[in-house]
């Protein structure tokens, strides 16, 4: 059995509801089913399935609801009203619940759920190793679908435990990646309501202005589920050194993502291919190492792969064929001098600490 690995960001329900992927299938079967489809750039190139997650020891992940409101003139595709976006997130919730009913996943709602599930995955029986449910903590990526504070309460009652207020472009609560400006008035109110409900804040996709405002206004639990190092790849989407230090001061974790353009400089999305740059899992290890070196310990670095987050093998490390290949990071980190305790921290212990704070007792 592989070492327990926690992935802090997977858009599983988006793949199911919008890509029409049955993630209970073997990965090759999913790819074959898409061989004649051209509606998405990553058709036939996905790397995530539940069987592959089990094979790779990914027993727990932060799994998203995601539905962007794309008003007229918005630079990114999305849904034409916040009401439609809310309905899409509820379809995603229904899919998670259906998978839980048939034993494929387990929605982790309390600290006890998390601890018990981690222990189950650390010492499975020979019979159960390939059949264990995958534990998920639900997070909302981009808050445009939150129609009112009552809807926010309903989401929390359904098991939602974290929110990233922004995604790409302008948003109801905050501008996101590719935009400028700080939190909107509704965004500041959202942080206050989240704090009342004990929801964690994911600062991924916040603009620099909104990031610093959020740190001033929000006193709950933080994380950056999938953001890499700006000094290795210079882009607003990444975190700079001051931002990482500020997150560490709040004992937050920073998840390294596997989207290739975030790993190596000079990537032209839609044109560059992995073989053009030589991007590999070694670059993922470089970003993990950079976080650890900057902050002086392995305490704050985690994995938030974002694999199949609207891209597949065409925009991932060239030596990754499946999400199970994340286990190769152990070898790469050992080669950089990381101890077993450090690797355990990056693979699972840091996320367990942070998620444990965000989940109610």
Structure tokens at 242: 């001051």
pLDDT at 1: 62
Flag whether pLDDT at 338 surpasses 70.
yes
Q: Are 137 and 110 in contact (CB under 8 A)?
A: no
Q: Are 210 and 190 in contact (CB under 8 A)?
A: no
Averaged pLDDT, 330-351: 98
Flag whether pLDDT at 125 surpasses 90.
no
* DSSP code per residue over 182-193: ---HHHHHHHHH
| Calpha distance 115→131 (Å, rounded) | 19
Could you give the percent of the chain with pLDDT greater than 90? 96
Strand-pairing partners, residue 141, are: 66, 164
Give the list of residues 6+ apart from residue 250 with CB closer than 8 angstroms, or none: 215, 222
| Domains in the chain, CATH or no CATH each | 6-358 (3.20.20.140)
pLDDT at 225: 98
Averaged pLDDT, 57-65: 98
Nearest to 202 by CA among 171, 161, 173, 172: 161
Give the list of residues 6+ apart from residue 126 with CB closer than 8 angstroms, or none: none
| Calpha distance 68→49 (Å, rounded) | 24
Flag whether pLDDT at 128 surpasses 90.
no
Per the confidence metrics, is the pTM higher than 0.75?
yes
Determine the straight-line distance between the first and last CA of the chain, rounded to whole angstroms. Answer: 29
Question: pLDDT by residue (tens digit) across 299-321?
Answer: 999 999 999 999 999 999 999 99
Q: How confident is the model at residue 73 (pLDDT cuts 50, 70, 90)?
A: very high
Question: pLDDT by residue (tens digit) across 151-198?
Answer: 999 999 999 999 999 999 999 999 999 999 999 999 999 999 999 999
Flag whether pLDDT at 129 surpasses 70.
no
pLDDT at 2: 85
pLDDT at 123: 82
| Calpha distance 113→159 (Å, rounded) | 12
Question: pLDDT by residue (tens digit) across 236-275?
Answer: 999 999 999 999 999 999 999 999 999 999 999 889 999 9
| Calpha distance 180→197 (Å, rounded) | 28
pLDDT at 323: 98
pLDDT at 8: 98
Flag whether pLDDT at 142 surpasses 60.
yes
Q: Are 229 and 287 in contact (CB under 8 A)?
A: yes
Averaged pLDDT, 217-246: 97
Could you give the percent of the chain with pLDDT greater than 70? 98
| Calpha distance 241→231 (Å, rounded) | 8
Q: Angle formed by the axes of helices 149-157 and 185-197, to 10°?
A: 30
Give the list of residues 6+ apart from residue 98 with CB closer than 8 angstroms, or none: none
SS3 label, residue 40: coil
| Three-state DSSP string of 119-158 | HHHHCCCCCCCCCCCEEEEEEEECCCCCCCHHHHHHHHHC
Q: What average pLDDT is seen over the chain?
A: 96
pLDDT at 273: 96
């Amino acid at each position: 059995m592989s070492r327990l690995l926690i992935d802090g960001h997977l858009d599983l329900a988006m793949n199911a509801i919008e890509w029409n992927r049955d993630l209970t299938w073997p990965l090759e079967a999913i790819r074959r089913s898409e061989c004649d489809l051209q509606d998405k750039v990553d058709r036939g190139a996905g790397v995530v399935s539940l069987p592959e997650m089990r094979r790779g020891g990914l027993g727990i992940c932060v799994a998203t609801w995601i539905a962007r409101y794309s008003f007229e003139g918005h630079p990114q595709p999305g849904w034409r009203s916040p009401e439609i976006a809310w309905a899409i997130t509820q379809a995603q919730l229904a899919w998670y619940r259906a998978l839980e009913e048939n034993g494929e996943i387990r929605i982790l709602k309390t600290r006890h759920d998390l601890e018990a599930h981690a222990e189950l995955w650390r010492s499975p029986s020979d019979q159960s190793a390939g059949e264990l449910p995958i534990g998920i903590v639900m997070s909302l990526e981009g808050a445009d679908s939150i129609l009112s504070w009552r809807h926010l309460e309903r989401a929390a009652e359904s098991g939602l435990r974290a929110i990233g207020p922004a995604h790409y472009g302008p948003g109801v609560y905050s501008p996101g990646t590719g935009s400028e400006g700080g939190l909107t008035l509704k965004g500041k109110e959202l942080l206050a309501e989240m704090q009342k409900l004990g929801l964690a804040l994911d600062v991924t996709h916040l603009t620099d202005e909104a990031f610093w405002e959020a740190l001033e206004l929000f006193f709950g639990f933080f994380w950056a589920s999938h953001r890499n190092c700006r000094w290795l790849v210079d882009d607003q989407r990444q975190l700079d050194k001051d931002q990482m230090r500020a997150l560490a001061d709040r004992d937050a974790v920073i998840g390294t993502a596997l989207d290739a353009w975030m790993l190596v400089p000079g990537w032209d999305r839609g044109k560059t291919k992995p073989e053009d740059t030589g991007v590999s899992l070694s670059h993922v290890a470089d970003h993990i190492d950079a976080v650890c070196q900057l902050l002086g310990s392995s305490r704050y670095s985690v994995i938030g792969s974002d694999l199949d987050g609207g891209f597949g093998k065409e925009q991932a490390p060239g030596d990754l064929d499946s999400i199970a290949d994340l286990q190769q990071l152990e070898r790469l980190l050992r080669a950089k001098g990381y101890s077993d305790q450090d690797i355990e921290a990056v693979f699972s212990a840091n996320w367990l600490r942070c998620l444990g704070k965000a989940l109610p007792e």
